Amino acid sequence: MRIDSGDVTSNREIELQPARPSREVVDSTAPAGSGGSAASDSIALNGVSSLVQLALSAGAGQRADRVQQLKQLVDTNQYTIDPVSVSSALIHAHMSGE
């Protein structure tokens, strides 16, 4: 397969070679005789829940401070909203599928 990079100043082309065939991966932690086959691929993600909790709690204090600051601005009628920025962000999010 050949792909033209689209650069008109230099006619460079990229030639892709077929990918190597996949190899079976043997789980060294699997019990002997479990016979891992390609039809029963699986992956164990140990400790994922603690990583998820860590990610969710990262910056929680900073977010709480910012929320408190915004709440105070809203309560004192000092928070101003730029309608052009809001509408632009809504349209951009809609167009990009967010």
Please check whether residue 18 lies inside any domain of the structure: no
- pTM score over 0.95: no
Evaluate whether 90 touches 84 at the Cβ level (below 8 Å). Answer: no
Please check whether residue 2 lies inside any domain of the structure: no
Domain that holds residue 78: 59-98
Q: Which of 22-26, 50-54, 63-67 has the lowest mean pLDDT?
A: 22-26
Instruction: Work out the mean pLDDT of the chain and round it to a whole number.
Output: 75
For 12-47, the pLDDT digits (tens) are: 555 666 666 666 666 556 565 555 455 677 776 777
Total of domains in the chain: 1
Looking at the chain, which runs of residues are DSSP E strands? 2-4, 13-15
Please check whether residue 4 lies inside any domain of the structure: no
Evaluate whether 13 touches 5 at the Cβ level (below 8 Å). Answer: yes
Please check whether residue 30 lies inside any domain of the structure: no
Q: What is the DSSP letter of 9?
A: S
Q: What is the DSSP letter of 25?
A: P
